[in-house]
Chains A and B, each alone.
Chain A
């Protein structure tokens, strides 16, 4: 009887949530998923690809009965155990006949199911079953976005006369981004991105780089007989735990324990506007029963600084430039300076709860990498050809998901990681992993989990717990102990550090939420301002306290408040503090042409070390997570208006007003005055 009531209730909830979804023009579900992820990353990632992926599945639900592991992994909110259990459930019991069946699968709580059904169903069409050219025209959808943005105050770099011969921004202060997509159901996708950053020229006429500043395009075809995926143009590759080969978006340590262990997506078209982390060429994934083979070839040019080697009289690469900015003469000169040819493949074996993979590839550069000239970087890669080999696995044993990867750069070091996610009780899950990356392990497509920026010269052990009781309470805690066996930048000795993170979330109602967070990190670095000939290390301690409340006033308006304090201390100095307080107003009516949100924030920090990052709402596919420092007010207003079906319009206006500064920024970015304001306008046309 009880279970019957449960099922009835569940049906009610599901219908309700599906009903809601259809009406909403804005997508709070995606916003929410994104926020959870983005909140925990301190760096300014580009989440375009992720939002695009989720938006895509909102419109073209994934067929759960036919979905592969990597397709399910594209839905970031599913954890590896849930995916394993779902695949196993289908393998054992046959296709899902009713969505209610999902509740009988281990690890699927109501909240997960509700979220999942926003992006998937059990009988949506897949494959080229009904393909013909007439359909392509009828079913194909186009999506065009043009975004314009500009900082309203003049920055120094735009105000330098050409005659002076000094470094200056050659282009206009406008930022223009154009994005076109064509989708045919789940099977065909064409993407085109054009981007010009502030200070760049619309049309570069210089040497190697004639045309718009950044162009990225790809054609993606899925499920053509044995070819599961084919990408022509720009693509990304993600295998295993990211030690050997991983390009594009990846997450670091954060509040959501399950997104820390990487879920590889294999081959994907590259649709983001990050100008560095992708391949350009041809790649495909071919399926032979339990085996998947993904060969690829990529050739592209990269931005690099180089210098002349006095001995060989050859030009050498001193640094790869990943910012993608080409505003000054100097930046333009480094643009597309070297070429990179990458070729290789991945072989994957999947059977039930086991998956094994082997990756091998070679990257060739047109010039040698110059050897590091400091003690800390003396083990870095030199030469022009690098071969990488890797093996990775994951296996689900009852309620434990085991994962790991072993990577080797030929003629140099080894890196490996092994870990497990276990659901200890229905409420408690644990994540543990151990990593050991040698100081001479290199990969130019390395995004393994690490405390440093790349997975090398590091050993560590991570342990975390998540307690989740229904929807109401959630508690996440982790500790990470890490050692750097070799010197690092500004750390002139082997060093150690650790991190502790805890977050408690209480949601008494669906629309109300309280979050408490505490984080402490201790690391070592050179004693600053030391006058001794040899640098010694001191421990620096960074602590973070956060309190946040979210609540709905009525069906249209909700509010969000946050208070955050950072505390920073070196052994040799006193504590310094940073404070951020903000008030958000979110307006999301169920059926209205207009929606939007606004924030007013007060910040007061004692400097760079106590700066505070805060995720901001933005126009669709736009992102900002500014780091606030000094003292002042930050405000933004962000709105969306649906002109008519298929035509949407966005506007974001923001400013930061500093009370303790007379100029903002430095160098070419410097603004005279204490106000920095920005406007973004975006229009989308779907046809």
Chain B
């Protein structure tokens, strides 16, 4: 029964939560502060980060938000580096047959030399609510990353700056958000990343996280976001070309959200 209410609450409020954007467990474990990182999952939150990927790679992820089955998200991502560009595609499905959001994205990223890259992503959103109907819309994302000095990156990203929405009603607006951030790799072992995120007409958040490679095949991660106050943690295992990542986030009131992903790089 409690579960039913939780589901109901999230179904009703999910339009404003928008945390359903699944950033992949590596970035999530670092408090989702991924705007200045390089990873296949940056497709979701600043695709400029995919230009450092040299071989075709793909990954799939599953998240169980607040440990409620009906609030799970499934996602897949693929990156294909071409001669002058990198191409990326991502797919994400959130919810249950009762309430379902689908998001499909295509990204084009280009590196200008070693220190600057930029990317454009086009998304197609579909929303279906049982006994109510379906609707769809488009949105775009744009971002860049710049390496100020060796291993120090700054980045900025905008998602849905034109505030596209499903229907005319305001409550169905897809949030527009802006992020700026920086990441620094201290040694081969330690990466620290931070990001400030502003949701237009919403809240401002500061997030920071770090990744520590305790062994060549094992990385530990942790992070914190300030508004709302949440802690994040996780680990990643790299075995030859396969990597397995796990993350968990802890919301002070709603509880834990675990996420797992499997990736393969050719």
- The residues of A with any CB-CB pair to B shorter than 8 Å are 400, 422, 424-425, 427-428, 430, 432, 461, 463, 465, 479, 481, 483, 496-498, 500, 522
Contacts and interface: CB of A to CB of B under 8 A. Distances in A.
B189 A424 contact: yes
Nearest to B226: A500
| Closest 7 A/B residue pairs (Cβ) | A498-B229, A496-B252, A479-B224, A424-B190, A425-B186, A425-B187, A424-B212
B189 A461 contact: no
Contacts of B222: 430, 432, 463
B210 A479 contact: no
24 contacts: A400-B214, A422-B212, A424-B186, A424-B189, A424-B190, A424-B212, A427-B186, A428-B186, A428-B190, A430-B212, A430-B222, A461-B250, A463-B224, A463-B231, A465-B210, A479-B224, A481-B231, A481-B252, A496-B252, A496-B253, A498-B252, A500-B224, A500-B226, A500-B229
A637 B250 CA distance: 50
Interface string B165-195: 0000000000000000000001101101000
B252 A425 contact: no
Contacts of A428: 186, 190, 192
Contacts of B189: 424-425
Contacts of A496: 252-253
Nearest to B224: A479
A463 B220 CA distance: 13
A461 B230 CA distance: 11
A400 B190 CA distance: 14
Nearest to B214: A400
Nearest to B230: A481
A425 B190 contact: yes
Nearest to A497: B252
Contacts of A497: 252
A356 B203 CA distance: 48
A165 B202 CA distance: 64
Nearest to B222: A463
B6 to A, nearest CB: 17
Contacts of B229: 479, 481, 498, 500, 522
Contacts of A430: 210, 212, 222
Contacts of A432: 222
B39 to A, nearest CB: 20
A496 B231 CA distance: 13
A500 B222 CA distance: 15
A496 B250 CA distance: 12
Contacts of B253: 496
A500 B190 CA distance: 22
* Dominant secondary structure at the A interface: strand
* Dominant secondary structure at the B interface: strand
Contacts, number: 42
A430 B220 CA distance: 12
Nearest to B225: A479
Among A424, A428, A497, the one with the most B-chain Cβ atoms within 10 Å of its Cβ is A424
Nearest to A420: B220
Contacts of B192: 428
A281 B71 CA distance: 60
Contacts of A465: 210
B152 to A, nearest CB: 14
Contacts of A483: 252
A425 B187 CA distance: 7
Interface in B195-252: 210, 212, 214, 222, 224, 226, 229, 231, 250, 252
Contacts of B212: 422, 424, 430
Nearest to B215: A398
A428 to B, nearest CB: 6
B182 to A, nearest CB: 15
Nearest to B232: A463
Nearest to A478: B224
Given A425-B189, A430-B210, 11 more contacts: A424-B189, A425-B186, A432-B222, A463-B222, A479-B224, A479-B231, A496-B253, A497-B252, A500-B224, A500-B226, A500-B229
A75 to B, nearest CB: 28
Contacts of A522: 229
A400 B212 CA distance: 12
A479 B225 CA distance: 10
B49 to A, nearest CB: 23
Contacts of B250: 461, 481
A430 B190 CA distance: 11
Contacts of B224: 463, 479, 500
A483 B190 CA distance: 30
Contacts of B214: 400
Nearest to A426: B187
Contacts of A500: 224, 226, 229
B194 to A, nearest CB: 11
Contacts of B186: 424-425, 427-428
B228 to A, nearest CB: 9
Nearest to A427: B186
A299 to B, nearest CB: 45
A424 B210 CA distance: 10
A483 B256 CA distance: 13
Given A424-B186, A424-B190, A425-B187, A461 B226 contact: no
Contacts of A479: 224, 229, 231
A175 B155 CA distance: 63
B201 to A, nearest CB: 22
A422 B226 CA distance: 24
Contacts of A461: 231, 250
A569 B229 CA distance: 17
Nearest to B229: A498
A481 B192 CA distance: 21
A545 to B, nearest CB: 16
A463 B232 CA distance: 10
Contacts of B231: 461, 463, 479, 481
Contacts of B226: 500
B140 to A, nearest CB: 34
Nearest to B223: A463
Nearest to A461: B231
Contacts of A400: 214
Contacts of A498: 229, 252
A483 B251 CA distance: 11
Nearest to B186: A425
A352 to B, nearest CB: 20
Nearest to A520: B226
B247 to A, nearest CB: 14
Nearest to B253: A496
A497 B229 CA distance: 9
B188 to A, nearest CB: 10
B207 to A, nearest CB: 11
Nearest to A434: B233
Nearest to A424: B190
A479 B210 CA distance: 14
A147 to B, nearest CB: 46
B215 to A, nearest CB: 9
Among B186, B189, B212, B229, the one with the most A-chain Cβ atoms within 10 Å of its Cβ is B229
A687 B224 CA distance: 56
A467 to B, nearest CB: 9
A500 B227 CA distance: 12
B2 to A, nearest CB: 15
Nearest to A481: B231
A106 to B, nearest CB: 14
B216 to A, nearest CB: 13
A431 to B, nearest CB: 11
A496 B229 CA distance: 11
A576 to B, nearest CB: 22
A461 B252 CA distance: 11
Among B190, B226, B231, B250, the one with the most A-chain Cβ atoms within 10 Å of its Cβ is B231
A179 to B, nearest CB: 46
Interface string B248-266: 0010110000000000000
